[in-house]
Amino acid sequence: MGSLWFIAFAIMILHHSNGVTGSERVPALFVFGDSLVDVGNNNFLSSIAKSNYFPYGIDFNMQPTGRFSNGKTFVDIIGEMLGVPYPPPFADPNSVGVKLLGGVNYASAAAGILDESGQHYGERYSLSQQVLNFESTLDQLRTMIGRNLTNFLAKSIAILVFGSNDYINNYLMPSIYSSNYTYTPSEFGNLLLNRYARQLLALYSLGLRKFFIAGIGPIGCIPNQRASGQAAPGRCVDNVNEMLGTFNQGAKSMVDQLNMRPGAVVAYGNTYGAVGDILNNPTAFGFNVVDKGCCGIGRNQGQITCLPFAYPCPNRNQYVFWDAFHPTQAVNAILARRAFYGPLLDSYPINIQQMTLIN
């Protein structure tokens, strides 16, 4: 009897260690977005927006992977909470066959909702291209899963993190892009929402049903923007943050619209509010440096981003920003927890954990 008990216990441990309990409910995680959630797609593209060098990844097994962080991204941590493996980058030639069964990451540094955003960096998968890439994954999944694909996609979760580059690497660069002359901030926000909604409907029509759509954080507070000299020392660039209102409020309304579709379960992540809370009361969250990158050069360590083999700050958990543009792993962990467990103010109208309980 004792040996039978031991075998049963061993099976239970194996079951849990593989994250099977989570992945039964959420079989796969599909990630669409920009450098905030890129896990190495740009390593395989002809782009200067790359992070496949040290000290990126210094807290990720001391190994650069193409993640734009010292450690884990927001979606890495969400994946751990869901009990699914890290979705592999779509562009990796090894991302084929059974590796796709836990989901795929399509995110690409410098990518925007608009095809032209970030084009001065070279190749990247824009939102529309990421949707096409997802279609090609479906062709492979169909051969493996067959008629169960509909149920598999309906239970899977898609996370989308877009919009920052449409501002940082488009609207706020009038010397390269014309959008600033063509549209008022509110017109530009509405243009982004219209394009975004179109692609979200395409993903819905392809079979995805559960979506977590992250809003844009206060990009006027990133070291790159603080280093622009447009704000007083210690201040964020307020007019940049104010531009984002149309998009973030509109994204929340877009979620309400999408939830009216049969089977759709869509949530909006209040990134702006969550990062704002950290910046407004950093010591409560364990941070003491809010205005500089941990790795970077120039004013606010934000004029030139983290270069190969640069020496980063040793106290990385006390920094909000890792480099000129991206948060540290410590911030990503807070954002992930708030998206997963948070109240309505953090994740509207439900959080990711609640999303997993809906069949």
- Taking Cα atoms as reference points, which of 166, 191, 174 lies closest to residue 33? 166
Which residues have CB under 8 Å from 4's CB, separation 6+?
Answer: none
Query: Can you read off the two tokens belonging to residue 358?
Result: 């809906």
For the CA atoms of the chain, what is the radius of gyration? 20
Active site members: 35, 323, 326
Q: How deeply is 347 buried, as exposed, middle or buried, from its count of CB atoms within 10 A (0-12, 13-18, 19+)?
A: buried
What region does 61 belong to: left with phi over 0, alpha with psi -120 to 50, or beta?
left
Residue 127 contacts residue 32 (beta carbons within 8 Å):
yes
Distances (CA, A) of 18 to 14, 82, 128, 233: 6, 11, 33, 49
| C-alpha to C-alpha distance for 272 and 260, rounded to whole angstroms | 25
Number of H helices, E strands in the chain: 14, 9
H helix intervals, 209-312:
223-226, 238-243, 245-258, 271-280
